[in-house]
Chain A
Amino acid sequence: MNKTVKLLTLTAMASISLAAADFITAAKANKLDASKVKLESVMLYPQTTIGNNDKEATEKMKGLKALEAKVGTAFNDKEMIVVVKYKDATNSKQSLKSTKAFGDGVAIQFPTACLEADKLPYIGMGSEGRQVSVMLQKNVEAIYPANENADVTTQQVRQNLNLFGDDLKKKEAASKALANSKYNKIFIAEGFRSMTEVKDAKGYEMSMNYKSGEWTAVFKKPLNDEYSKSCDATPMAIAIWDGAKDGRNGNKWLSSWTPIKMKDTPKAKADITKISEKSKGNAANGKKLATDNCAACHTMGDIKAPMAYMAPELSNIGGYATTGYLKESIVAPSAVVVPGYNKNAHPSGVWYSTDDKGARTSTMPAFDYLKPNEIDDIVAYLQTLKAGVK
């Protein structure tokens, strides 16, 4: 009997330590100190919605488990900081001598505007009309400007140094000074492939440090600017790339929208509930419904679609999609169209059509004839679909 009790306690403890926080409380402070921010657990899941064509990277991503990050934020009247800590056995760096070395990376994502909590941008870099801004930092040896800042006189050949001597040595030194050891970028996006670098953003700072098998990434941004707004509950998503697994682009772990409680208001509370709530439907019945209605195109866990590339792969959808998004996608698939693959990559499995004005219509028909309780059941099933914890 004692044994049973002990086991139960252990199970309960395990689930407590791994339960992701429903929200992160942002501390208001005059001085923003990353070392003093209170950290909470956020779970990140391997992005499997869309694959890629790098055979070795796909192999390395196979069977990946979920990743736990400790995340905290603080803000003052002007700025906000976000701290992301996570364990990583390897400190991977992009190298100047390699075409195959990838650096570890961390990104955070915000909607560019305060939107209704059940109509957030698509988690994978936003969606048409629901834009996101992304702060990305990567671990690199050095990055040079593409064209030596268009100064052709510094574009010289090392072997010529013998011939032209000190003059070229000076130019070589000038060229070396252009190296940037930080890969810190800010992007704006409305869906896969649309990510565009923002080069005029001001007040952004990023750093990442590796110590004792753990990365600590710190992001600092303006509280409000053209690219993101502070809301009562500001939704944030986190992505982590492991260079040792050839991580870049979609080869990553991704969190769901995680609200940051900025204000103690009823709206903040209501938004947090909406963003974090789980469907109360019957997942077992949902699986049956999904098999009948969805499996003709979607691969979901042990349910396999007849053909790869036909539709977004849903095996980790429970890890990074909100209830609001899942419901909307079933009832109105064209409200948020996942742009999917480059349209030349898989012409036999086209995810959407585009009219002459560029508006996208999903290939998926609307399943708006399903009863509300059936949709709840399907959503409850989809929310069970996620990789296990490491």
Chain B
Amino acid sequence: MSATANVASKRQLAMVMDLNKCIGCQTCTVACKTQWTNRNGRDYMYWNNVETFPGEGYPKQWQTSGGGFDAEGNLKEGVIPEIETGYGTPWDFNHEDLAKGVEFKPNAAPIWGPNWDEDQGAGNFPSDNYFFYIPRLCNHCDNPGCLAACPRDAIFKRGQDGVVLVDQDRCQGYRFCIAGCPYKKIYFNPKISKSEKCIFCFPRIEKGLPTACAQQCVGRIRFLGFLDDEEGQVYKLVKKYKVALPLRPDANTGANVYYVPPVSGPLKFDANGKPIPGSDRVPAEQLEALFGKEVHAAVKTIKDEMEKRKSTGKSELLDLLIAYKHQDMFRLDAGYYSHHNNSLKPIDHRYDAGKFTSFKAVH
């Protein structure tokens, strides 16, 4: 990871998602949308989305749209998706007219949208077809591509928890951040001509509440906590057991949303419809492309722990992944925030009130 000194934060808030338990219900997506993105030009944005892998994802083909850093730490070129073709223009249905006996139809003719290819997956049914869900949100990276791309120093990483935010006062809507983000999780709001992104629900976090997506998750797949909190489940999954891995680590941004990779899906079937012992439907090389080489060790650890649990009845890791209690899954150190100055000041203090102008910026 090529985290550069001036974006280093004191602590880092991180999320872990157990992909084995994600059922693609989109409750997280809806929780986020109704909380943050159903109005004010954000309508087309999904700060949180759940996409089917393999698939084109959201925005379309984000995995091949550039951004992130090369091995030397130089920012790579990227492209900006268009609303209609990349994200999908929000559409609605004519529910109110149904009583009049008209045909049920959308009020627009969308050509792409989130989950356009939901549940399609790959392979041939029933012998070797497969897919799994990946919920995605801003990774609040150690070295954010969006921050590095910004020619206005409008993006900053909060010192107290590493949450990456856009200074709406400095943003001028140039959109280089969108090209620079390898996850395409920062969006241009054409209504206000500024970029906006997942804020890790910081107003909730500061009150000791988990993010809306984590709170609402019916599969209880999301863990939230500080990476340096050794008692926290996030720490244990990421650092102790090393079973939670960042998405596309080859983007070199130091992502802080971690995924427990899918293990132990159904077996492949042979020509006679018989399960093939020891087979994996999800190709290992695809998991490696998503989560890096470490994915093999992570999968092995989980499988070993499952065996251990079967034979001994004990496994701390599986207890963690069962996710018994929200209060253990979300360790936000409410006291930490209440004792901290939760400022939203950009990292560059040149822009604090009055350096250049008599206008006093409000942060």
Contact = CB atoms under 8 A, between A and B. Distances in A.
A188 B78 contact: no
A55 B178 CA distance: 11
Contacts of A284: none
A226 B359 CA distance: 12
B190 A53 contact: no
Interface centre among A97, A131, A156, A345 (most CB of B within 10 A): A345
Interface centre among A94, A98, A142 (most CB of B within 10 A): A98
Nearest to B351: A196
Interface string A96-131: 111111000000000000000000000000000001
B74 A146 contact: no
B79 A55 contact: yes
A183 interface: yes
B361 to A, nearest CB: 8
B204 to A, nearest CB: 16
B72 A54 contact: no
Contacts of A158: 39, 43
A100 B44 CA distance: 14
A248 interface: yes
Interface stretch (B168-176, B234-242, B328-336): B168-176
Interface in B137-157: 143-144, 147-153
A342 B150 contact: yes
Contact of B148 (A162, A200, A344, A358): A344
Contacts of A101: 190
Given A52-B151, A342-B147, A347 B179 contact: no
A159 B92 contact: yes
A315 B3 CA distance: 32
A252 B7 CA distance: 29
A94 B83 contact: no
A200 B82 contact: no
B325 interface: no
Interface centre among A55, A96, A146, A188 (most CB of B within 10 A): A146
A346 B86 CA distance: 28
Interface in B5-62: 6-7, 38-41, 43
Contacts of A53: 66-67, 75-78, 149, 176, 179-180
A36 interface: no
Nearest to A141: B190
Nearest to B361: A196
A347 to B, nearest CB: 5
Nearest to B188: A99
Interface stretch (B98-106, B191-199, B215-223): B191-199
A140 interface: yes
A183 B151 CA distance: 19
B192 A144 contact: yes
A249 B149 CA distance: 12
A155 B39 contact: yes
A358 B6 CA distance: 13
B357 A198 contact: yes
B151 A342 contact: yes
Interface in A56-99: 56, 58, 94-99
Interface string A186-198: 0011101111111
B315 interface: no
A309 interface: yes
B191 A96 contact: yes
A92 B351 CA distance: 32
B82 A98 contact: yes
B77 A54 contact: yes
B188 A54 contact: no
A341 B74 CA distance: 11
B258 interface: no
Nearest to A226: B358
B200 interface: no
A143 B174 contact: no
B319 interface: no
A342 B148 contact: yes
A343 interface: yes
A194 B173 CA distance: 15
A148 interface: yes
A342 B350 CA distance: 15
B73 interface: yes
B41 A193 contact: no
Nearest to B75: A345
Nearest to A349: B74
B73 A249 contact: no
Nearest to A159: B92
A345 B74 contact: yes
Contacts of B92: 159
A309 B73 CA distance: 12
Interface in A338-357: 341-349
A280 interface: no
Contact of B81 (A99, A190, A197, A341): A99
Nearest to A185: B172
Given A143-B192, A156-B39, A55 B356 contact: no
The 6 closest A-B pairs by CB, nearest first: A344-B148, A55-B77, A345-B75, A345-B148, A188-B356, A99-B188
Interface of B: 2, 4, 6-7, 38-41, 43, 66-67, 72-84, 86-87, 89, 92, 96, 143-144, 147-153, 168-170, 172-176, 178-180, 187-188, 190-194, 350-351, 355-359
Interface of A: 52-56, 58, 94-101, 131, 140, 142-148, 155-159, 162, 183, 188-190, 192-200, 226, 248-250, 309, 341-349, 358
16 contacts: A53-B149, A56-B79, A96-B191, A97-B83, A98-B82, A98-B190, A157-B39, A198-B357, A198-B359, A199-B359, A309-B74, A342-B148, A344-B148, A346-B75, A347-B4, A348-B73
Given A140-B193, A344-B147, 8 more contacts: A53-B176, A96-B191, A194-B153, A196-B355, A248-B172, A250-B151, A342-B149, A344-B148
